[in-house]
Structure 1
């Protein structure tokens, strides 16, 4: 191979010799390695830099196009962006996968194996961050001027291992080898203030103004990551902020020999972007969490306004040029921050600043759980962000004044909608602030949006009748089908063409093929190949053998009581008991796969992980169930693990308590990959049923309305315990230590939460219906042709759940931004 100096020049992305030269040049000039003395990571970085070069040219062209067309831009503010690995996704999106595969084979390397060297960018916790990543992909694919803003966490979501059945958290230092996709921007630096005091003064015109002074300052430095759309026509930008000290060290202390004191401020400042979601059960953790939220919001708004001001005078036109989407309440402090900047720095009067603010922001709500709605103590705000507290009080005062004028005498309404909650200590309700300060508020599934308007935010819907809308979540077909399940993607393309990759609703053309025996056979072969591949990975990593011909029954998601992994375990125990007693009949062999992380401070969730592993151990030891039932907990569930597991899923467990899951996107990913859902009428399951047909989904359990009625009438979990012998046996086995003989009381608190503490998530109420529904699953699985037909129809009718459709709805109904070609 000849080494040339044209490092950056790729004459044609489809030209193999040109790509080969670029790859070797990058290896030498950027990595500093001789091609004969390299390891896999060296080749990965060289390849990533070549791909980044290709992205960069298209990225600059996209930015230039937005500028020349003076395009309105949307900025997506999110604490999480769970983007996962980027190499293969980028290659597929720009249409160069096969060419680079050939280049690597020429030098004796395998592209898919090389891609494993990439560290996962674990900048999120779960669905919220993965949704944000899907939306960035769709914005670029749809050629919409969309930009993401977040935090460049040095340590992402923790790495999870399972030790003696328990979750153990380890730091996830994903940046330890560097990130080849990012561009550091030391010239893009903004001051972010904390603490200090607010002084009031009067202008010469008599106007009262405020100045925030004597603050502790942190600098926010930008790192840019190109985000390619499918086809490579548009490459958008994800800008992440890293905290830097306002000065490197105190020279006075350094000269005195006190080196620790000299860098103390630097260390404290840069802790801001160290870790995703610090433990907020401590005062120090809560303080850091609030500082993180304000840090990235302040830097982002300063950056947005700088871009806007480069070509516009005054801020009256800001809502016509800029849309800002708040992904959950974490960035809701952007509302008082924009008010502060407009009023204090640009002298915009209150009424004008407020109108601009409301028309610029929109807010996505992601939870119906009152305890999950973000609140902050007034005292903490007063300490860290005194000017913002002053502005929030003023926003609240003016809002409540309007409400009292419209609804005179309704003091209870005033109390319920106030941003300041005085009943539980003096607290700020950030969801209330986000609703008041946005022109649109959307839920993320039909049921979720309806319950938002009729339960937790019914007062606001009464006050703002046109403010609430629904936009059901979606997933990107590029990552979750075209990349994750390439065998199925190839079969679909061969059958209906490749248009589905950017128009997922074209999958409906597969529906007639569900009645084609030859197509069903090929579809089954793809699923079996995916199951065999997953079985091999589990054997390699966990030394656990599983039967790839068994039914793969999968629940992978964050571990939380409302997601009811505990209900799944109760069914597993019931199945185990039937096998032990010889009363199982013609039972279908199953492999039940769990995966997910529990928050470090969430004791019950961590105990559920231990229970799953203890049940798995008991089943493994019992020869009576050998080959018929297997339970596996896959550690460290993340985007990469999801892409390995989801194509192999046959039964998708979506069993949250009705009315508690906002939407879910795992349900969509599994269905579009040929899994059949077993679930409650919760979140997007309702819309999945509407699209695939009630005959092609397994629905069980109480509805949200039925549960409300059950609780109103006095829900008694003991009634279910006493009336169902199988349930009683399963709970007694857990409570008395059958699965934990070394510590009989280990799981007593879990059983108490169900029987003595009111079974908040209605596990026992839905148990009987769930077990009966699982028997229906067995009956269908015994007929492979009937099962496959329903699986194909799930794929065919889930095209509506594309993030492209969701982003189009946002663009048309909320952001008012056109395509920019």
Structure 2
């Protein structure tokens, strides 16, 4: 948009006066942010209205992206950048004597996700708008984010993340588009004697009112504004019942209270299933209402609507869509099923069996009885039809209802026309191992769509020093077209350019060092190697392997303080699920190792360990640009894709990695010489699985170095970890080291030693760093959503 500095200043001051009746000199950061956000939302609103009107008039096909997580982080800078007015606003505020960064800091992170799944969904929302594609997000408006993480005596302690406490300036409540969601009670089918059709009769249902809150998703300098719809819940008022107990109200409020209720209890799992059905039903109801306004027969709904199931959480969309078509709109089963399969598509995000959701039949039948009836019928018809053409054993293994459980991934695959993985190795594993039976039955439905990242946020917003160097070196076209970053590769031997990029990296390291000092009190040198592992804490991601190497390095330095190594700062950021006790033990031990080494003067500042609390998008925007080394060390075959690996390499970090997830595609992009690969590949891992020959005790007992490092967990070397150290020791030795940390240990140590040698040769290191950045453009989520659009959703750009 075109905006002068003077016009902005006038709009901003007027809004501040209207909202708070104060002058700029008297306003605090929150008041300034809310006024600024309100002005920016007003700038967006005209395009937002125009795009909706255009799409209705032209009957554009739209992709509806259902995800239980969205992790957009802060939106002020992103909106300003995409509107093309970031510099105008920043300069305008400066002339008014105001600090833009201080105002931006007042914004709360929209922490509506746990990690990669939610961040990917938000990247897709950004990219759909920025590529001009009609997209619409559907999720839950959680009143509290995942949780705020603090460390007390080294332990993770969870506090509520009340991100909505001051409201959300970007959202618009759409009460007129509220819908009712029915759950529980009894449902029976009443026959219509005249037609022979059956109509469901609901007895004593629990009725919930779903209220949509819409947030504009602004495209990059193209006028496209899509919609992210987050659903909140209310108790509907009716003549029959106007009064509810405090406990009843609390039960309803809990539905949109917290992201991922504790699934270690039956009640917690039940609440999660309620959440999944609540937002899925509400979203689909509004989609069908919108579609009917187009005046096109329901049989053809797939020509205007694509519904995407992001992981298994919204998989109930298959059965709920059938319910709407056959119950509410009287479509016969076969026509409804044909429309459903053509409309639905599904992304699988994991090969871990525990993450492929399965719900007890009794729970589903109690909470959503009509939907369960439809799932039963889908399952019955599936078995009947497939048994005519397929191996009965395969049909039995792939049916939806098995052993008293409803398999959500099976429902999603059977009820959709596309199932994709999120990196080449992951998609191959789905076809060859995890979902092989389905691949045998439906090979045409399987495809790969490697994940991507919103490059604008992870370069232009979070790394302005690097972005400035790119502008000076290759021009500014890369800001709109990520493929142009590849032009940087022609400067791989240009010392001046590499020095400029190194200086930008140093600025970012200084910023992170200052943050570390403020957040933890630990002083770190920007001249040290910043070695970073930030991601959800899970055993398969192997933060433990990183920790074991740190313990070895500490022991080596204690024996020889003059050891010739480049000073190293190991930086962690991760949250552990509240009931995931092993992960919380790893956090405790990392923190205690940090306390031990950070206060040991004998180490001569050659080793520091920092675990930054409350890792989120905003913190990542400080950490990622400052990283020298990107830790992507999951056990090969376990990480579906990863996206932090893409963010780090774009920002010039060198990746130390296993051949897992998108690490393989990063290696292919940058070349073997510009990444440090170690350890087993997926074939090695599966060979051990099939042979059942891994004996962690044998590895431990035969190797004095490994024995010494592992014993440090229990022999008092590390203070204050009696319980946690024993738990981790037992995980490795007694329970046979499920993720092969000990088997990959020496290869990892050798890879870390290679990192040290490479970093000492700054000429080589800076070239590696540049080549990583130059090849980051191919991992833009713009590219990813274009492939979804062309190959799965069949949508085209257009307002």
TM-score range, shorter chain: over 0.9
* 1:476 to 1:252, Cα distance in 2 relative to 1, 3 A: closer
The match for 1:716 among 685, 695, 702 is 695
* 1:245 equivalent in alignment to 2:228: no
> Which is further off, 621-630 or 347-356?
621-630
**CA deviation after TM superposition for structure 1 residue 38, in Å:** 1.6
SS at match of 2:213: strand
The match for 1:412 among 393, 397, 400 is 393
* 1:309 equivalent in alignment to 2:318: no
Give the equivalent residue in structure 1 for 2:333: 350
Give the equivalent residue in structure 1 for 2:765: 787
How many residues end up aligned between the 2 structures? 797
**CA deviation after TM superposition for structure 1 residue 213, in Å:** 3.5
In 2, distance between residues paired with 1:32 and 1:161? 37
**CA deviation after TM superposition for structure 1 residue 267, in Å:** 3.0
**CA deviation after TM superposition for structure 1 residue 710, in Å:** 1.9
Give the equivalent residue in structure 1 for 2:715: 736
SS at match of 1:746: helix
**CA deviation after TM superposition for structure 1 residue 65, in Å:** 2.0
* 1:435 to 1:21, Cα distance in 2 relative to 1, 3 A: same
* 1:371 equivalent in alignment to 2:354: yes
RMSD of equivalent CA atoms: 1.5
SS at match of 2:177: strand
The match for 2:558 among 574, 580, 590 is 580
Give the equivalent residue in structure 2 for 1:220: 210
The match for 1:400 among 383, 393, 414 is 383
1:164-563 equivalences under 5 Å are: 164-203=153-192, 204-247=194-237, 262-407=245-390, 410-422=391-403, 426-563=404-541
Answer whether contact 2:586 2:724 (CA < 8 A) is retained: no
In 2, distance between residues paired with 1:820 and 1:251? 46
In 1, distance between residues paired with 2:669 and 2:721? 47
Give the equivalent residue in structure 1 for 2:668: 690
Give the equivalent residue in structure 1 for 2:634: 656
SS at match of 2:724: coil
* 1:781 to 1:314, Cα distance in 2 relative to 1, 3 A: same
SS at match of 2:498: helix
In 2, distance between residues paired with 1:186 and 1:558? 36
In 2, distance between residues paired with 1:514 and 1:725? 43
Answer whether contact 1:77 1:148 (CA < 8 A) is retained: yes
**CA deviation after TM superposition for structure 1 residue 617, in Å:** 1.0
In 2, distance between residues paired with 1:201 and 1:249? 26
The match for 2:43 among 54, 58, 61 is 54
In 2, distance between residues paired with 1:484 and 1:307? 38
Alpha-carbon displacement from aligned partner over 1:81-140 (angstroms, at most 9, x marks no partner): 101001111111101111111221122111122100001110100000000000000000
**CA deviation after TM superposition for structure 1 residue 172, in Å:** 0.2
In 1, distance between residues paired with 2:759 and 2:142? 45
* 1:682 to 1:210, Cα distance in 2 relative to 1, 3 A: same
* 1:63 equivalent in alignment to 2:52: yes
Alpha-carbon displacement from aligned partner over 1:379-422 (angstroms, at most 9, x marks no partner): 00111111111111111111112221112xx4432331111121
In 2, distance between residues paired with 1:106 and 1:621? 45
**CA deviation after TM superposition for structure 1 residue 512, in Å:** 1.5
Answer whether contact 2:56 2:294 (CA < 8 A) is retained: no
* 1:771 to 1:357, Cα distance in 2 relative to 1, 3 A: same
Alpha-carbon displacement from aligned partner over 1:423-453 (angstroms, at most 9, x marks no partner): xxx1111001000011000000000000000
In 2, distance between residues paired with 1:790 and 1:743? 39
SS at match of 1:442: strand
Answer whether contact 2:588 2:724 (CA < 8 A) is retained: no
* 1:227 to 1:340, Cα distance in 2 relative to 1, 3 A: same
Give the equivalent residue in structure 2 for 1:603: 581
Give the equivalent residue in structure 1 for 2:795: 817
In 2, distance between residues paired with 1:292 and 1:669? 31
In 1, distance between residues paired with 2:81 and 2:12? 18
In 1, distance between residues paired with 2:685 and 2:564? 34
> Which is further off, 287-296 or 575-584?
575-584
Answer whether contact 1:245 1:265 (CA < 8 A) is retained: no
**CA deviation after TM superposition for structure 1 residue 815, in Å:** 0.4
* 1:759 equivalent in alignment to 2:749: no
Answer whether contact 1:211 1:344 (CA < 8 A) is retained: no
Give the equivalent residue in structure 2 for 1:108: 97
In 2, distance between residues paired with 1:679 and 1:420? 39
Answer whether contact 2:592 2:721 (CA < 8 A) is retained: no
In 2, distance between residues paired with 1:75 and 1:213? 32
* 1:735 to 1:712, Cα distance in 2 relative to 1, 3 A: farther
In 1, distance between residues paired with 2:65 and 2:480? 21
**CA deviation after TM superposition for structure 1 residue 16, in Å:** 1.7
> Structure 1: which 5+ residue stretches go unaligned?
1-11, 254-260
Give the equivalent residue in structure 1 for 2:143: 154
Answer whether contact 1:737 1:745 (CA < 8 A) is retained: no
**CA deviation after TM superposition for structure 1 residue 282, in Å:** 1.2
* 1:755 to 1:252, Cα distance in 2 relative to 1, 3 A: closer
In 1, distance between residues paired with 2:559 and 2:721? 25
> Which is further off, 461-470 or 17-26?
17-26
TM (normalized to structure 1)? 0.95
In 2, distance between residues paired with 1:743 and 1:440? 48
The match for 1:630 among 608, 616, 620 is 608
Alpha-carbon displacement from aligned partner over 1:749-780 (angstroms, at most 9, x marks no partner): 11111111121111111001000111111110
SS at match of 2:26: coil
Answer whether contact 2:519 2:612 (CA < 8 A) is retained: no
SS at match of 2:68: coil
In 1, distance between residues paired with 2:269 and 2:110? 24
**CA deviation after TM superposition for structure 1 residue 465, in Å:** 1.1
In 2, distance between residues paired with 1:694 and 1:454? 26
SS at match of 1:610: helix
**CA deviation after TM superposition for structure 1 residue 187, in Å:** 1.2
Deviation beyond 6 Å, 4+ runs, structure 1 = 248-253
> Which is further off, 179-188 or 262-271?
262-271
The match for 1:643 among 617, 621, 630 is 621
In 2, distance between residues paired with 1:625 and 1:186? 62
Answer whether contact 1:250 1:263 (CA < 8 A) is retained: no
In 2, distance between residues paired with 1:782 and 1:809? 41
SS at match of 2:349: coil
In 1, distance between residues paired with 2:238 and 2:332? 38
> Which is further off, 505-514 or 239-248?
239-248
**CA deviation after TM superposition for structure 1 residue 642, in Å:** 0.2
**CA deviation after TM superposition for structure 1 residue 162, in Å:** 0.7
